[in-house]
Amino acid sequence: MLEEVAAMAATFLLLTVMVQVATAMTARSATDAAVAAATRRAALPETDLALEEARLKETITAIVPGATAVTVDIQLRAEAVVGLVHIEWTPPGPVLVPIDISVTAEVPLAVAP
């Protein structure tokens, strides 16, 4: 009887970890797509970087449920635009540990022909 309870507890813990890893991969993928899109928009001429940062932060909080501390930074460099996002993400279910997700995207500046 005790072995069965221990096996059930171990199975539950393993399933919890598997679900959290799968949802973390989904959250990472969604964040990566959002950062890439925002960085491409920011690379266009005469783009307001502050507006793009606010838009990116709003997008990430909408598409990544459980994102608590969202830090967004879009930097204009000499030949490129770099988008940086750091998220502290709380997975669904029992929280074993909060997960940190960091994403970076770099896009060359768009110039008129």
- Spatial neighbors of 96 by CB under 8 A, at least 6 apart, are 16, 17, 20
**pLDDT tens across 13-32, in order?**
888 888 888 888 999 999 99
- The kind and range of the H/E element at 71 are strand 67-76
Residues in the chain: 113
Here the tokens at position 108 are: 């060359």
% of the chain beyond a pLDDT of 70 = 100
pLDDT tens sequence across 36-52: 999 999 999 889 999 99
User: How many whole angstroms from its chain centre is CA 22?
Assistant: 14
pLDDT of residue 19: 84
